[in-house]
Structure 1
Amino acid sequence: MSYHIIINKNQSVTYGQLLNNSFVPNNVSINRKVETNDAIIGYNKFYLENESSRGVALTVSDTVYDVELNICASTGDYMLAAKLALAIAQINNSIISPEFDDELSLDEFEVQYNSAWAHLSRLNGVDTLRFLLEKSDEVMLSGCVRPFYFGNYVLNKLSQDQPDEGQFADRVIDEIRKIQFIDQATEDLEVPTLMDANFPEGVQTVQIILPEYKLLLQKSDLIILRMGSEILKVDRQRFIQHPSLVLERLDEVQYILQPIEKDTYLKIMRYFSSIDDQPEQVKRVEPAPLETEAPTKVIEGKWWQFWR
């Protein structure tokens, strides 16, 4: 379900060389902090803020630069992939080998892999999402910043008026794109880092929730509630079913959780503490943050650091 553009590696390319190349747009971001003088190595993901859905992966080996796109990539992602391939080929003085096509010179590739190609290519593989749902209740699509979970809720939401293939593809892509930049579009939204924690029953993924914060409620095994010295773990599915919560559903499993008032928060804690057995000790597992393919909004000294 992925599409590759291969460029032979005649020399190393630095992040600065690539980002400052005339082919590459000025508003390109990378999913992690890099130094401009460092050579590009390993796996990287590039994206356009507010335009990308899946982003563009660039994997560097000893012999090639592999520019990769996946299903539900936006038109902007496809154009970015073409521009990155052109820039790398120019710096390397190399030919370009698009998947399912002949080797092309720089000029040939620039003519053929244009905006019309990008717009048409956005449809690639979107129809397979329905097929994948026959095997699983949800399909995780790694976005340029954070995951998106496709399932029957999203399918039904986007298919109510029986859209054609192009309309359906555009809707899925837009849903993925919106959740990537949800923290910019939603006032006061916090996106805590997911963590692994060691419980008696084993290592599980947790998200910490405190009162009076508007949060992106991400996929996790457990929710951690904390008031003073009391720490409570709650099964995530049971937590989101509590009637006191105000939730805005974003995809199959993720929500915006509106701030919980302290009195309500205490009532929720009392409710779950009365029906659940709690561990005597919760230990954080290192390394703590789970990779979400991009930095989340981390605020120094905030409550999700309470294990430290």
Structure 2
Amino acid sequence: MARRSDPTAPFVVATPALAKLVERWRNHLARERRLADKTVEAYARDVDQFLVFLTSHLGHPATLGDVAKLKITDVRAFLASRRNAGAGSPTVSRNIAGVRSFIRFLEQDGEADGSAVRAIRPPRRKRSLPRPLTPERARDVAEPANAMDEEPWIAARNAAVLTLLYGCGLRISEALALTRSEAPRGDGAALRIRGKGGKERLVPVLPVVGEAIAAYLRLCPYAPGPDGPLFLGARGGPLNPRMIQRAMVRLRSALGLPDTATPHALRHSFATHLLAAGGDLRTIQELLGHASLSTTQVYTGVDTERLMAAYDAAHPRAR
């Protein structure tokens, strides 16, 4: 029987038959749709929260019949309960997406009618624009001479990671997942990256990226082998992303950068600077590994904001 995520929960939230369908759906997401583990966990948590609510709402453990004949008022009551619990618009939107995914799975086997869930429009999300660094500041962050650490090899490692994030537009998780055999050489060869959901993409490697990696490898005291991680921690194990985040905090202080200057901001900077230099959105989408062009289009807002700021500062009639 399915219970609350909290093992101390005192009541059953789904009948055995419904619980088995939830498990089949989770396996479907992971094995057939090949969604990322964290996405599967988030969707499963959404459905778990929905079943907890439905059990309380109906006064008995949720059954397949209850889910199959959901009314719009039931779904709206669930969303209201999430709002009352303090969930913001992004969380509520994902809650809807998780429940919709499960209902859609049941619909494929004729087990449910998803019209009530489809009729609910997710709350409008205020999309915040990424905060990239200026090209000069991005180069300063990736400059090996600015890397601060008592151990030269760790300073070189941090500089190599940050150069890779900015030079190739990688997520920090993608950079730290590279093995020694995958080390970028900067000789014109493209880097094969496995991104979210297992989606692969090819990213060109600039010479400066290959040089930063080579400098780090020359100084690194550990040799884990070709299948070992490219970036290592102080004791020779896989590098924890928190170490790069801490290095960025030190750089912010030393270079006078804003709090928005994070490792991920280097990926934003990569995209924004390409767009400003005339790169087209489709190419930038491929380089970033975005599944949807709408995700990449947010950078047009960044570039427009930058242009308007320059206009306001320079045009005589703007004052």
TM range (shorter): under 0.3
The structure carrying a bigger strand percent of its residues is 1
Which structure has the larger Rg over C-alpha atoms?
Answer: 2
Structure having the higher helix fraction is: 2
Q: TM-score, normalized by length of structure 1?
A: 0.24
Q: TM-score, normalised by structure 2?
A: 0.23
